[in-house]
């Protein structure tokens, strides 16, 4: 018998089988939009949404995201990609086309704080976060009951200074086994090695519990309290080798005052963290983000 989740996925994929998203970045120059539109027209495609942005009208970089649909698109993916290569070469484009019915496969990493994990699982369960979540990985056991209650495999992989390399090798093995293309660090309190990050470039989304670039690293709420801040926030970003300095996807803040101790800052901050991370993950899943250097263009 088909489960509610399986029915959600089936209906979504059926509704999206003729839809795709085209992401483009290239040197800004005349004729880009016309060339893309003409190509899509010749493919029998109908443009559903189109967004453009240029960093500078003179010698800048042009960014474009197009949502379109075309009859039987799911049957002519290779032909579409081959055809667009000629347009891309003409303008020196970096580009990607993503077929909407192909759900991304996301692995969630978590430690002891479960509020971000719970938010993601709720959004996923309700059908508002369209992805497959084949597994959750944790260096603690705290999340097991929550995860397994939804029939999602849970893997406990302890991490110590001495076992970090072996732990990451096991994590990477699981990511390959489950064909994972997106990793979400939902308050996973471990620093990933450069070797791990290099294999997942712009595919690891983290939530940091401060409004970056303030209070990078550990104990940001304690440091915020000591500094007497009047605003606290959270930042979701792609992970790079530089701690908490990767391209920022989304941020938010909330006002606090002198009456709020560290415990209250953490309570207020947890609400910000889970909503910021959920938005960032959704935008990634919907292919709304183009990374440009250490910044992001979010359409």
DSSP string, the chain: ---HHHHHHHHHHHHHTTEEEEEEEEE--TTHHHHHHHHHHHTT-EEEEEEEEES-TTT-EEEEEEEEE-TTGGG-HHHHHHHHHHHHHHHT-EEEEEETTS--EEEEEE-S--HHHHHHHHHHHHTSS-SEEEEEEESSSTTHHHHHTTT--EEE----TTTHHHHHHHHHHHHHHTT--EEEESS--SPPPHHHHHTTTTTEEEEESS-TTSS-SS-HHHHHHHHT-SEEEEEEEE--SSTT-SPEEEEEEEE--TT--HHHHHHHHHHHHHHHHHHHHHHHHTT-EEEETTEEEE-
What pLDDT, on the 0 to 100 scale, is given for residue 23? 98
- The residues of the chain that CATH labels 3.40.50.170 are 105-298
What pLDDT, on the 0 to 100 scale, is given for residue 59? 76
Task: Calculate ∠ Cα 62-76-201, nearest 5°.
Answer: 45
What pLDDT, on the 0 to 100 scale, is given for residue 149? 97
What pLDDT, on the 0 to 100 scale, is given for residue 273? 98
For residues 65 and 237, what is the distance between their CA atoms, to the nearest angstrom? Answer: 20
What pLDDT, on the 0 to 100 scale, is given for residue 1? 79
Catalytic residue among 244, 252, 261, 287: 244
Contacts 24+ apart (CB under 8 A), 10-15: 12/101, 12/103, 12/127, 12/130, 13/101, 13/103, 14/101
Q: Which residues of the chain, if any, have pLDDT below 70?
A: 57
pLDDT digits (tens, 9 = 90+) for 89-98: 999 999 999 9
What pLDDT, on the 0 to 100 scale, is given for residue 297? 97
What pLDDT, on the 0 to 100 scale, is given for residue 74? 84
- The residues of the chain that CATH labels 3.30.70.260 are 4-99
Q: Which CATH number fits domain 4-99: 3.40.50.1220, 3.10.20.340, 3.30.70.260, 2.60.40.10?
A: 3.30.70.260
**Which CATH topology does 105-298 take?**
Rossmann fold (3.40.50)
Does residue 142 carry a catalytic annotation?
Answer: no
The answer to whether the beta carbons of residues 292 and 61 sit under 8 Å apart is yes
**Smallest Cα–Cα separation from 106: which of 94, 84, 121?**
121
Task: Calculate ∠ Cα 290-293-299, nearest 5°.
Answer: 20
What pLDDT, on the 0 to 100 scale, is given for residue 175? 98
């Amino acid at each position: 018998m088909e489960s509610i989740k399986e029915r959600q996925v089936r209906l979504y994929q059926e509704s999206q089988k003729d839809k795709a998203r085209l992401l483009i970045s290239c040197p800004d120059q005349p004729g880009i939009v016309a060339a893309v539109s003409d190509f899509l027209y010749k493919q029998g495609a109908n443009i559903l949404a189109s967004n453009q942005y240029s960093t500078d009208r003179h010698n800048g970089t042009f960014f474009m995201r197009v949502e379109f649909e075309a009859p039987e698109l799911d049957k002519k993916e290779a032909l579409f990609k081959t055809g667009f290569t000629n347009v891309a070469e003409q303008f020196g484009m970096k580009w990607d086309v993503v077929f909407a019915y192909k759900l991304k496969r996301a692995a969630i990493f978590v430690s002891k704080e479960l509020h971000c994990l719970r938010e993601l699982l709720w959004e996923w369960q309700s059908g508002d976060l369209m992805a497959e979540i084949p597994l959750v990985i944790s260096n603690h056991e705290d999340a097991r009951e929550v995860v397994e209650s939804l029939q999602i495999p849970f893997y406990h992989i302890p991490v110590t200074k001495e076992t970090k390399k072996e732990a990451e090798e096991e994590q990477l093995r699981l990511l390959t086994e489950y064909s994972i293309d997106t990793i979400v660090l939902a308050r996973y309190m471990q620093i990933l090695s450069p070797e791990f990050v290099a294999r997942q470039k712009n595919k690891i989304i983290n939530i940091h519990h401060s409004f970056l670039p303030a209070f990078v690293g550990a104990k940001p709420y304690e440091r915020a309290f000591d500094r007497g801040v009047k605003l606290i926030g959270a930042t979701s970003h792609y992970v790079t080798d530089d701690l908490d300095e990767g391209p920022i996807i989304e941020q938010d803040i909330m006002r606090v005052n002198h009456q709020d101790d560290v415990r209250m800052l953490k309570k207020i901050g947890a609400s910000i963290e889970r909503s910021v991370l959920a938005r960032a993950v959704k935008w990634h899943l919907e292919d709304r983000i183009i990374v440009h250097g250490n910044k992001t263009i979010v359409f």
